């Protein structure tokens, strides 16, 4: 067993090697032979995939935002719709995926639009639940930009509901979170939601 403090001290290469070893054990526990030809490289490939799918833990959203923040007067609402994302459900470590739309009311600062997509990826590439993902993006954009208000809408499909459990193939989940003037002004919130 490895604790978080020890894990945090590992280099990426050491982390990858430790993950691959454990994934080999998992393959064995599932009843397969990790030495079989088709599975020989699976532990390492799977470890690399998991490192990529959780890369948000090792990225600093502040560095992303700082690189493209601009002074701006005007723009009552800025929206970026349908930013696709992929994440892993923290309960089953199965994928969930969908689209995030972000609207914010600037207060003298705007950010390069692609940076909002990068922020979505940073928070999505972690073990997550959709509700927290939506709230984290909303809170971060509000704080980082000093915006007057932010609204984030997230629509996703969860493989933990499609592949196992209730096995409902056509289900999707919609969450939204808002802060600042958008959370106070119902008419403004309705207008922005209709834009998204």
- Residue 21 Cα distances to 41, 54, 88, angstroms: 11, 18, 21
Tokens 């969450």 locate to 175
Helix axes 12-29, 42-53, angle to 10 degrees: 120
Q: Check 128, 136, 154, 158 and give the catalytic one.
A: 158
138 classed as catalytic: no
For this structure, is 154 an active site residue?
no
Q: Is 91 a catalytic residue?
A: yes
Q: Which of these, 52, 66, 34, 37, lies nearest to 144 by C-alpha position?
A: 66
**Active-site pick, 72, 91, 131, 143:** 91
Contacts of 49 (CB under 8 A, 6+ apart): none
| Active-site position among 128, 130, 138, 154 | 130
Whether 158 is catalytic: yes
Of 90, 131, 143, 191, the catalytic one is: 90
**160 an active-site residue?**
yes
Catalytic positions: 89-92, 130, 158, 160
């Amino acid at each position: 067993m490895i604790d978080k403090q020890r894990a945090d001290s590992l280099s990426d290469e050491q982390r990858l090697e430790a993950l691959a070893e454990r994934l080999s054990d998992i393959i064995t526990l599932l009843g397969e032979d990790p030495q079989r030809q088709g599975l020989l490289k699976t532990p390492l490939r799977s470890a690399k995939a998991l490192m990529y799918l959780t890369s948000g833990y090792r990225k600093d959203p502040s560095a992303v935002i700082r690189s493209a923040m601009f002074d701006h007067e005007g723009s009552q609402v800025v929206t970026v719709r349908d930013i696709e994302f992929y994440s892993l459900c923290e309960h089953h470590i199965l994928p969930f995926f969908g689209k995030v739309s972000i609207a914010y009311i600037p207060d003298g600062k705007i950010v390069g639009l692609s940076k909002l997509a990068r922020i979505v990826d940073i928070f999505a590439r972690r073990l997550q639940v959709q509700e927290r993902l939506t709230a984290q993006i909303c809170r971060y954009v509000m704080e980082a930009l000093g915006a007057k208000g932010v609204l984030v809408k997230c629509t996703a499909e969860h493989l933990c509901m499609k592949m196992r459990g209730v096995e409902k193939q056509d289900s999707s989940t919609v969450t939204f979170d808002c802060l600042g003037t958008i959370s106070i002004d119902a008419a403004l919130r309705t207008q922005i939601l209709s834009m998204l």
